[in-house]
């Protein structure tokens, strides 16, 4: 990772920088600073579920896919 990634939750926020590993709990809002690059690894079945929810939420918000 380069840059900074913040995961905001109802009960606080976690901040990650180069060299950090993280697991994002459900209910997070990712905040990525300009120039940040992140590589994520997820189990395939769980990633598919997550992407389906993300796509539905984006569609409901009127965001382009």
34 located within any domain: yes
65 located within any domain: no
42 located within any domain: yes
* Residues 57/65, Cβ–Cβ less than 8 Å: no
18 located within any domain: yes
pLDDT tens per residue across all 65 residues of the chain: 899 999 999 999 999 999 999 989 889 999 998 999 998 887 888 888 888 988 898 899 887 75
Its domain, for residue 29, covers 4-60
pTM value is 0.67
**Nearest residue to 42 (alpha-carbon basis) of 60, 23, 58:** 23
């Amino acid at each position: 990772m380069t840059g900074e990634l913040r995961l905001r939750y109802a009960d606080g926020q976690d901040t990650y920088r180069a060299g950090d590993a993280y697991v994002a709990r459900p209910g997070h809002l990712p905040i990525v600073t300009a120039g940040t690059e992140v590589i994520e690894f997820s189990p395939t079945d769980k990633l598919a579920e997550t992407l389906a929810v993300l796509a539905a939420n984006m569609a409901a918000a009127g965001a382009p896919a």
